[in-house]
Structure 1
Amino acid sequence: MDIPDSSFRRRLLIESLTLLAADARSQVAWLDRHGVVADEIALDFAHAFDMAEALVDAGRLGPGVLPDLREIDAVLGAMSGAENAGRWTREALSVDEGWSRTRRLARGVLVAELGDRRQPLPEISVIR
């Protein structure tokens, strides 16, 4: 399997952070548009986060954002498990403190990496 180049990796991370940083209403609309469930937001981030250190090593991501990326990963991880199923609903996106915290952290990383430029929510292809 080919390893994606650093610009592709960075784009995946920025797109996942853009979705995490979006307000709850926009996130719900995105879920509805793509016909997926809330955990897709976290799964997209987890996939992109796996490449974050390689992006820093390649000079495509500022090392100062790694602590926030790690914290996002930790918050989402702490929300996992059957006992936390209620945290993965569309309703929870607007009321759960974990989602609010990841939203704030993701916005901070985006500002650090992109400045104040707003990014559109990413499009995805769902294979069913």
Structure 2
Amino acid sequence: MKDFESHRTMSHMHGNDSSDMVVLILERDMIIAADLTEALKSRRNLHVIHVASPEDCAKALHGIKQLHAAIVELRPSEYESYQNQLDQALRTTNVIFTNGEDEQQLAAARGWAMLPRPFNDEMLEEALSRFNI
């Protein structure tokens, strides 16, 4: 868990090195967020930014030049409810939803991926591979 970084620890990063990938984790459960962070960092050289709510996305990503993927604890159908917060913050089409596996068709139609709960490292790899990450 030492690799876990919240947006508070990453907010000082103004921009990002072009060789570093940045992944946002929107997850209320700190243990799940820490597990995702560990799984991501064990396989890639990247920065992970964690937020607990959609309202925190814009602030956490301020100054980040490119976001490569976002793993969000939402259903695809909930995206519209948070569209104002998420559209500005998630400047990527590489969105992976962790809730709403029954909405797979909606996610696929919009170019998003699903990571149904409970998930494991292999499932995370498969979701990321859709975006060549």
Same-fold call, TM cutoff 0.5: no
**TM-score, normalised via structure 2 length:** 0.29
Larger Rg: 1
Task: Between the two structures, name the one with larger relative contact order (CA 8 Å, sep ≥ 6).
Answer: 1
In terms of fraction of residues, the more helix-rich structure is 1
**TM-score, normalised via structure 1 length:** 0.30
In terms of fraction of residues, the more strand-rich structure is 2
